Amino acid sequence: MKVKTRMKNFIKKPTNKSNLKSPPAGDLGGFTRLKVSESMELMDFLLAKMGGMKRNSIKSLLSHRQILVNDQITTQYNLPLKTGDLVIVSSVRGNTELFHPKVRIIFEDPYLIVIEKQENILTVKTDHGNELTAFSILKKHVQKSAKNNRIYTVHRLDRETSGVLVFAKSQEIQQILQEKWHTDVKKRIYVAVVEGKPPKESDKIVSWLTENEKSLKIHSSSVDNGGQQAVTRYRVIKSNCDYSLLEIELETGRKNQIRVHLQSIGCPIAGDKKYGAKTSPIARVALHARILEFYHPVTKKIVRFETPVPRKFLHLFH
């Protein structure tokens, strides 16, 4: 399967509007917005538009991550621009680049940081201890640029689950995203390696989930027992004698939903002993959050973040 990491914007209007507005045209609030009217490289465009600014000054803005093209930070001076692109010059220095084996930034703008989290690391710390988390890594990272920089958790992935994870840069953005998460998130697609092969090539699983207070394990019921209704769609991508690679789309986002639903059809996720797995071929729970698509809280455009299927998943089918 060939999967490329990318971010796409589609111009759509959400049903609910926020009071928070994108920086207006011209120079206001530390942002200068410039519309591209003809194709050229970024450096040539900024030399022409920035009122006599020298090449070295523009390179300094780029190196300090103060230039955004179509809402995404860039440091590439020769980035090709096309008609209709939006270039934003910020008066505030952006964060330095992050190099960490457990966290990779795949998108950043003045409002959001979107990362790919690796397995075996929590999103945020629990009540016990001060272990390394995705949150602590990002917090330390943004405060290298300015001590008053903050990040805020929007949603979470389990310790063993890798994939796309979103953080906000302000409490206001965090609140907007969390309040509208169930309506403004348009796609949540995962991939998983499961034991065996599902009874159908594709299907929709609907059940009601409840949590055992002592074991903290989620249980699934095919009839309404007062629990939370959960809906999961899946399709088989690859399979062999031992395992199947599934693409999974969530219609609801309940705790451990994918894990318990796949167990309920006799195909627990490989490595997930809590929910019935007997094998662990890649020494982890083989679940990855591959695609997340939602309305941006400020631009109101749909943004899409996509990560590759982990190679260890694919190697099981060679």
For residue 207, give the amino acid letter: S
Provide, for the chain, the percentages of residues in helix, strand and coil under a 3-state DSSP scheme, each rounded to the nearest 5.
15, 35, 50
Q: Annotated catalytic, 85?
A: no
For the chain, the straight-line distance linking the first and the last C-alpha, in angstroms and rounded, comes to 12
10 Å Cβ neighbour count for 18? 19
Residue 138 φ then ψ, to 5° = -70, -40
CA nearest neighbour of 295 among 157, 177, 189: 177
Gap between the Cα atoms of 77 and 35, Å rounded? 17
SS (H, E, C) 11-26: CCCCCCCCCCCCCCCE
How do beta strands 162-168 and 152-153 pair?
antiparallel
Strand partners, 87: 34, 69
Gap between the Cα atoms of 68 and 90, Å rounded? 8
Q: Which of 44, 85, 158, 224 is catalytic?
A: 158
CB neighbour list of residue 41: distance below 8 Å, 6 or more residues apart: 77, 78, 79, 80, 81
E strand or H helix at 175: helix 171-179
Active site (catalytic) residues: 158
